Amino acid sequence: MIKTAILATIAATAVLADEGRVDYFAPGPIAHNDDIEIVGGVEAEVGKHLYVTGLRRTPEGASSCGASLIAPKVLLTAAHCAVNNWAKNASIGSHFLRGAKDGERIEITKITPHPKYDAKAMTYDYAIMELKSASSFTPVEVYFGNDAINGPGVIATARGWGTVKSSGAQSEVLKEVNLKIWDNKACNDAIQKGGAGYPTIAPTNICAGGVKGEDTCQGDSGGPLTVKKNGVDVVIGLTSWGIGCAQEGLPGIYARVSEAKDFIAPYIPATPTTKPAC
């Protein structure tokens, strides 16, 4: 997944492997010099996923977390990306990690994490960010169902800005990777086999990936996990945490948006209805 490695200053649990590597990434946004990685990903099509948003400290600085435009003045991201309210600006609809070549830069005016967010258990990892002015881009639908559209075995897509190998230079363009959704029980079994101290997979989690060399990883958490509904992207999850990156049999963990409908839905305008003809 697209996650930020834990530092000692971040209030989250880390489990260190014998070789000293951080195995459990329960991320928190930090100064933007960490690796951001989509392992095995490809460059996304330019101008196709304009709801994908980068969260920045400055208008033209590099993005440190991801988000999705879900209403003209509303972003959905992970709660761990809301720690300390560091994100002041949103870069919406840009293909690039930094700068102002395309898309929009809009100031973030209010940040609301889910009231039940638990940084240790990594549950309820959702946050809403409100914008100073409305975006001109079309928001993405948040999918609140739990059915065949987002069930186990379905191929989902994660997007973000990153490199193709650990410790490499950051990609300057938006990338994407396709990941298979797991059943939560099978996911929990796999995670618990990873060692002692890892969080239990909860209903607020959705798991995807687990194929060696294909994953999202350090940095840029909060970005969207999407599937297709009638040929159009819908958000089903937000990049949250995982054990290492791109390891065989270890899926990445995302925040399942259907479990936060009561929190998210009030920020989404109701779909207009047409009055019947008289």
> Which residues are tagged catalytic?
80, 125, 221
- SS3 string, 103-156, reads CEEEEEEEEEECCCCECCCCECCCEEEEECCCCCCCCCEECCCCCCCCCCCCEE
- Give the CA distances from residue 221 to residues 185, 198, 229, 248, 272, in Å, rounded to whole numbers and listed in that order: 24, 18, 24, 21, 32
Burial profile 250-274: b = 16 or more Cβ within 10 angstroms, e = fewer: bbbbbbbbbbbeebbeebbeeeeee
- Under DSSP, the state recorded for 58 is S
Residue 185's contacts (CB-CB under 8 Å, 6 or more residues apart) are: 201
Round the CA-based radius of gyration of the chain to a whole number and report it: 17
> Measured between alpha carbons, how far is 171 from 153 in angstroms, rounded to an integer?
29
> Measured between alpha carbons, how far is 27 from 42 in angstroms, rounded to an integer?
23
* Chain centroid offset of residue 184 CA: 18
> Measured between alpha carbons, how far is 121 from 142 in angstroms, rounded to an integer?
24
Residue 189: phi, psi to the nearest 5?
A: -60, -45
Is 95:88 a contact under the CB 8 Å cutoff?
A: no
- Give the CA distances from residue 193 to residues 154, 197, 249, in Å, rounded to whole numbers and listed in that order: 24, 10, 10
Helix, strand, or coil (residue 219): coil
